[in-house]
Amino acid sequence: MTDEEKKRHQEMTEIELVIGHVLRIGVITSAVVIILGLGLALVTGKTGYPAGSFPTTFSAIFQGVAAFKPFAITMLGLFLLILTPVLRVVVSIYAFAKENDRLYVWITTLVLVILVFAMWIGYLGK
């Protein structure tokens, strides 16, 4: 193995470690936020919203979090959980670009566009 191949292999190993850390941190952070929201709901006995309703927009979630509404905090945790694999795709694009693998950069970018488009459609459809 040449020095250049060793360096490239080491860089890819480091990028894979970063991807693993991103996933781990995202899942742990979202779990903590969800547990905080559920714990607050158990302690207060209230959700912060009328029966059968909950925040569904980004602004409603962030306003609810600012007001310490348990359901809004739980929804923020779920949003973070959904965002975690999207962030992993973004890091993968960087990894493939670092490898100079243009085909996989394009494929992964297409996957990211599809994910964002699907989330946008879901957001509009509520």
CA distance 65 to 115: 25
- Give 104-124 pLDDT, tens digit per residue: 999 999 999 999 999 888 878
The tens digit of pLDDT for each residue in 15-62 reads 888 888 989 999 999 999 999 999 999 999 888 888 888 888 888 999
Would you say 91 and 22 are in contact if contact means Cβ atoms under 8 Å apart? Answer: yes
φ and ψ of 42, to 5 deg = -70, -40
User: What gap in Å lies between CA 85 and CA 65, rounded to an integer?
Assistant: 23
* Domain boundaries of the chain, sorted by first residue: 3-124
CB 75 within 8 A of CB 61: yes
Tokens of 77: 């945790």
pLDDT digits (tens, 9 = 90+) for 88-101: 999 889 888 888 88
